Amino acid sequence: MSTPLIEIKNMDVAYQKQLVLSNISLSVFEHDFIGIIGPNGGGKTSLVKAILGLLKPVGGSVKHSMNSWEIGYLPQGNQVDENFPITVKEVIASGLEHGLKMRLGTTKSRQHKVEKALETVGLKALHSRPIGELSGGEFQRTMLARAIISSPRLLILDEPDTHVDNQFETELYALLKELNKTITILLVSHDIGIISPYIKTIACVNRDLHYHASNEISEEQLKVYNCPIEIIAHGPVPHRVIKEHIHK
């Protein structure tokens, strides 16, 4: 097999001595599409931040075979000031920046890429809107456009379906599936039912990590993995994949 894009070995992550991820190992290869699932507070976001180099592991190692700006990233909501005076177009263009560049004005190719990204997420009409005047879903689409505009080698999305409506959710996952032909994707979600048809493999994260080399998983398996999340059936999803959700 080729060398992995990301290689995590026996990694520990902690906040002020409080261990939140313990002895984690995971290799991410080109063309992977891994669904990262787990309960609230299980450590999914911490794992993503360690991969991005935003959190320094207290033990073990994370090796990259690429630069951090070759990663597209959509953070989990509420990490930025939503009233900051910046427009949709400016936010999306920031996904193209890398390193410290002193530049005036904008180039044709830059403008073209921004327009294409705006089209992809369906925000053409809102390009000059300040982000403070967007709905939650429109904001999330803006952040998605910022993540994919640079055609990254690896795309990491932390709960991208927050706030977006059903129609865009479907479009979003279809888009990811299309992108996955060329791009490696890590997708954080706590709804395995929705992402199952699109992903290739699953990583269950709850302080430790269990890698599951299939996009299908049973409740029994989740129990074995110590990953207490509910499996919810969505519409006409094949039931051999997803057990029916029963209200207690």
Partner 1 sequence: MDLLHLFTYGFFQHAVVAALLMSVTCGIIGTYIVSRRMVFISGGITHASFGGVGIGYYLGFPPLAGAATVAVLAALITENLTRRKVMRNDSIIAILWSLGMAIGIIFVYLTPGYAPNLMSYLFGSIITVTSTDLWLMLALALTVTTVFTLLYRPILYVSFDEQFARIRGIPVMFINYLLIILVALTIVLSIRTAGIILVLSVLTIPQNISNLFTNRFSHIMIGSVVFGFFASLLGLVLSYYLDIPSGATIIFTLVVLYLVARLIKVVIFGR
Ligand X SMILES: Nc1ncnc2c1ncn2[C@@H]1O[C@H](COP(=O)(O)OP(=O)(O)OP(=O)(O)O)[C@@H](O)[C@H]1O
Most distant CA atoms of the chain, gap in Å: 60
Site for partner 1 in 131-150 (CB under 8 A): 132-133, 146
Interface residues with Mg ion (CB under 5 A)?
A: 44-45, 76
| Residue 134: CB minimum distance to partner 1, A | 11
* Closer residue to ligand X, CB minimum distance, 153 or 190: 190
Kindly calculate the radius of gyration of the chain based on its CA atoms and give it in whole angstroms: 18
By DSSP bridging, strand 184-188 and strand 33-37 are parallel
| Minimum distance from residue 125 beta carbon to partner 1 (Å) | 17
Taking CB under 8 A as the rule, does residue 33 contact partner 1?
no
Cα separation, 92 vs 96, whole angstroms: 8
Residue 122, interface with partner 1 (CB under 8 A)? no
Of the candidate spans 62-70, 195-203, 214-222, 228-236, the one that interacts with partner 1 by CB under 8 A turns out to be: 62-70
DSSP for 47-116?
HHHHHHTSS--SEEEEEESS-GGGEEEEPPSSSS-TTSS-BHHHHHHGGG--S-----S--HHHHHHHHH
Minimum CB distance to ligand X, residue 194 (Å): 15
As a whole number of angstroms, the distance between CA 54 and CA 193 comes to 29
Which residue, 71 or 194, has its beta carbon nearer to partner 1?
71
Q: Pick the closer one to ligand X by CB: 35 or 43.
A: 43
Q: Could you say which of partner 1, Mg ion, ligand X, none residue 52 binds, taking C-beta under 5 to 8 angstroms by partner kind?
A: partner 1
- Angle subtended by helix axes 136-148 and 166-179, to nearest 10: 10
Chain residues in the site for partner 1 (CB under 8 A): 49, 52-54, 67-69, 71, 73, 75, 79-81, 84-87, 90-91, 93-95, 97-104, 130, 132-133, 146
